[in-house]
């Protein structure tokens, strides 16, 4: 039976899939829940190819096989699956359609699957360069994907191994001193291995000062269409690690000269991006775990998670650069004392000032193009909120330095606060002065709106009335976390019956673009004291996205599965 995607119940209305094998391009887990669990199919053939925007569409790599998996618990119906390349899939689709058209007998496929459930172990490889204290710096990489697996993530695992060997050799040769803190090297099955490693000896977690995740670091940028990214920790875990790794990366960004050598720039593409998740750093950086961990990754990658992720797409020079960055980061942190901490505090402060100035520069342009006076006032209020938020995050980064050395950070906090205030006052004055509107009028309006400038009020005036209902519920809800570490989708699905899963998938599909980011960030901010409305505010300040309705519905599923506690307060 052919399904285009098969992700909605309605697609099954006129076809009988019972005891048949379905061919689909859709989300396999959703198809399993509907085709197999609900409508009785016995197997799945998948010919989908996940798009990686803007560099990979389904037919861009027609001969590649997409890395796909789905699974079930003992209470669910057993099922098998096979994956075809898009080209093979198209051939099969055409054949099936022709048979139907000509009233011929249906295609028969033969499948033999030999598998069983059994108790197993998760293997986590750990190596350590011992320091003088019990504190540790961690370099983590995952090694668990089916072939091809060159860039994801043999590349990260290989760099990790090379760093361990190199630092160890330099120490043995007397070229580097033995570090103060230990450096631990971890090779894990992605996510599951990290959960297992942390859970095995929870008491050592507070000694883990910082980490770095190496995930897909080898890409040949021209072939794979990638950029080298530093992904920062989430704002709920603001940390010194971000500015440090960026500072080390910047040493590499002047490796090319202009024709007569007057200017220097990078020969490769690079960027720093906010936290987005999706690998082991999302477990470590969760505030309930508290091990700040940026990720080094090359993204996008045209061959990501396919059989074409092979060795000739790996660039040894990229491996070297990223290896040196991660090695420098970990050895520096393993030895950082008072002097290094004060230097890093100054780095954080200077970077913050640049960030604020850049941010305000953009906002002045944005506000200047407004014509509605009320919108100008609201934009100013949002600007104030946003720079106060940035300042709070940066103060938390400075505070996090206490993990390295017990320096007094007050002077940095004060400077951050005063700088923020001064820049905002200056901006406000400029906008009043340069705007063609009457200054007093704008001032009055600003004062008025600011008095009740809670987000909800703004929504009442300017947005969809339907949203207010959800904002009101959020105002009365407090979310408490029960477990340390983020909650995986599979954990939620295991706690739901088939019908609830269908509802859960519907929520996921309707919010596909924001689903992963919002659910992760919101859980990080849930500290058992904040109302869901405050969490929604913080997520919006962090990501620019607001969807309180989604968060309420999502947390409702979590509380049904007893994965969080939700409490109503008046």
Q: Which is nearer to Zn ion, 179 or 486 (CB)?
A: 486
Q: Please check whether residue 542 is in contact with residue 274, taking contact to mean a CB–CB distance below 8 angstroms.
A: yes
Q: Which is nearer to Zn ion, 135 or 152 (CB)?
A: 152
CA distances from 470 to 14, 532, 544 (A): 37, 10, 18
- The residue whose Cβ lies closest to Zn ion is 152
State whether the Cα torsion 25-29-31-36 is positive or negative: positive
Q: Which is nearer to Zn ion, 212 or 551 (CB)?
A: 212
Q: Which is nearer to Zn ion, 150 or 517 (CB)?
A: 150
> What are the residues binding Zn ion (CB under 5 A)?
152
At its nearest, how many Å lie between Zn ion and the CB of residue 280? 11
Q: Which is nearer to Zn ion, 240 or 299 (CB)?
A: 299
Q: Please check whether residue 68 is in contact with residue 83, taking contact to mean a CB–CB distance below 8 angstroms.
A: yes
At its nearest, how many Å lie between Zn ion and the CB of residue 277? 13
First to last CA, the chain: 53
* Helix (H) or strand (E) run with residue 331 in it: helix 316-335
Q: Please check whether residue 140 is in contact with residue 284, taking contact to mean a CB–CB distance below 8 angstroms.
A: yes
449 three-state secondary structure: helix
Q: Which is nearer to Zn ion, 157 or 242 (CB)?
A: 157
Q: Please check whether residue 520 is in contact with residue 52, taking contact to mean a CB–CB distance below 8 angstroms.
A: no
Q: Directed axis angle between helix 532-543 and helix 373-400, to 10°?
A: 90
- In degrees and rounded to multiples of 5, residue 292 shows phi and psi of -60, 125
At its nearest, how many Å lie between Zn ion and the CB of residue 262? 42
DSSP character for 32?
A: I
Q: Which is nearer to Zn ion, 309 or 471 (CB)?
A: 309
At its nearest, how many Å lie between Zn ion and the CB of residue 136? 25
Instruction: Assign residue 225 a region (left: φ > 0; alpha: ψ between -120 and 50; beta: otherwise).
Output: left
Strand order of the β-sheet with 43-46 is 21-24, 43-46, 80-83
At its nearest, how many Å lie between Zn ion and the CB of residue 125? 18
- In degrees and rounded to multiples of 5, residue 530 shows phi and psi of -70, 140
At its nearest, how many Å lie between Zn ion and the CB of residue 293? 17
Q: Which is nearer to Zn ion, 152 or 384 (CB)?
A: 152
At its nearest, how many Å lie between Zn ion and the CB of residue 143? 10
Selection from 229, 233, 176 nearest residue 210 by Cα: 233
SS3 labels along 194-254: HHHHHHHCHHHHHHEEEEEEEECCCECHHHHCCEEEEECCCHHHCCCHHHHHHHHHHCCCC
Q: Which is nearer to Zn ion, 28 or 336 (CB)?
A: 28
At its nearest, how many Å lie between Zn ion and the CB of residue 186? 16
At its nearest, how many Å lie between Zn ion and the CB of residue 190? 7
Give CA angle at 215 (72, 210), nearest 5°: 105
At its nearest, how many Å lie between Zn ion and the CB of residue 156? 10
Q: Directed axis angle between helix 498-510 and helix 548-560, to 10°?
A: 160
Q: Which is nearer to Zn ion, 303 or 424 (CB)?
A: 303
């Amino acid at each position: 039976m052919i399904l285009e995607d098969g992700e909605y119940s309605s697609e099954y209305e006129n076809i009988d899939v019972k005891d048949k094998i379905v061919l689909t391009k859709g989300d396999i887990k959703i198809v399993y829940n509907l085709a197999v669990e609900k409508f009785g199919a016995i197997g799945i053939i998948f010919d989908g190819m996940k798009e990686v925007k803007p560099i990979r569409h389904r037919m861009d790599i027609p001969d590649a096989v997409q890395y796909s998996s789905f699974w079930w618990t003992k209470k669910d119906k057993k099922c098998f699956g096979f994956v075809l390349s898009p080209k093979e899939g198209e051939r099969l689709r055409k054949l099936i359609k022709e048979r139907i058209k000509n009233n011929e007998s249906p295609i028969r496929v033969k499948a033999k699957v030999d598998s069983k459930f059994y108790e197993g172990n998760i293997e986590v490889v750990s190596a350590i360069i011992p320091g003088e204290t019990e504190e540790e710096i961690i370099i983590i990489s995952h090694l668990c994907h089916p072939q091809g697996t060159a860039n994801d993530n043999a590349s990260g695992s290989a760099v990790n191994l090379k760093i361990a060997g190199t630092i160890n050799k330099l120490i043995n040769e007397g070229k580097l001193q033995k570090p103060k803190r230990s450096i631990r090297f971890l090779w894990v099955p992605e996510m599951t291995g990290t959960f297992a490693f942390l859970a095995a000896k929870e008491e050592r977690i507070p000694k883990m000062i910082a980490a770095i995740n190496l995930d897909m670091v080898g890409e040949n940028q021209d072939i794979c269409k990638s950029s080298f990214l530093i992904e920062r920790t989430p704002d709920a875990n603001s940390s010194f690690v971000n500015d440090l790794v960026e500072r080390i990366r910047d040493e590499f960004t002047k490796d090319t000269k202009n024709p007569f050598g007057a200017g220097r720039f990078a020969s490769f593409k690079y960027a720093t991006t906010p936290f987005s998740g999706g690998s082991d750093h999302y477990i470590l950086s969760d505030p309930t775990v508290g091990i700040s961990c940026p990720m080094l990754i090359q993204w996008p990658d045209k061959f990501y998670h396919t059989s074409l992720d092979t060795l000739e797409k790996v660039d040894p020079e990229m491996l070297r650069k990223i290896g040196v960055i991660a090695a420098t980061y970990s050895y520096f942190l393993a030895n950082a004392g008072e002097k290094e901490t004060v230097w890093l505090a100054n780095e954080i402060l200077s970077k913050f000032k640049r960030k604020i100035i850049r941010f305000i520069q953009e906002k002045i342009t944005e506000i200047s193009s407004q014509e509605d006076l009320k919108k100008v006032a609201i934009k100013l209020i949002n600007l104030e909120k946003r720079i106060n938020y940035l300042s709070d995050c940066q103060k938390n980064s400075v505070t996090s330095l206490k993990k390295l050395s017990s320096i007094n950070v007050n002077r940095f906090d004060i400077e951050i606060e005063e700088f923020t205030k001064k820049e905002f006052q200056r901006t406000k004055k400029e906008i009043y002065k340069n705007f063609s509107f009457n200054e007093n009028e704008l001032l009055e309006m600003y004062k008025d709106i600011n008095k009740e400038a809670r987000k909800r009020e703004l929504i009442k005036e300017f947005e969809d009335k339907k949203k207010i209902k959800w904002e009101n519920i959020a105002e009365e809800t407090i979310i408490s976390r029960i477990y340390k570490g983020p909650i995986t989708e599979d954990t939620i699905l295991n706690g739901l019956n088939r019908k609830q899963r269908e509802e859960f998938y519907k929520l996921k599909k309707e919010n596909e673009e924001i689903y992963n980011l919002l659910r992760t960030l919101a859980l990080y901010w849930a500290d058992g004291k904040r109302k869901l409305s405050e969490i929604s505010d913080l997520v919006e300040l962090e990501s620019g996205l607001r969807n309180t309705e989604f968060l309420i519905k999502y947390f409702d599923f979590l509380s049904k599965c007893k994965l969080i506690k939700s409490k109503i307060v008046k």
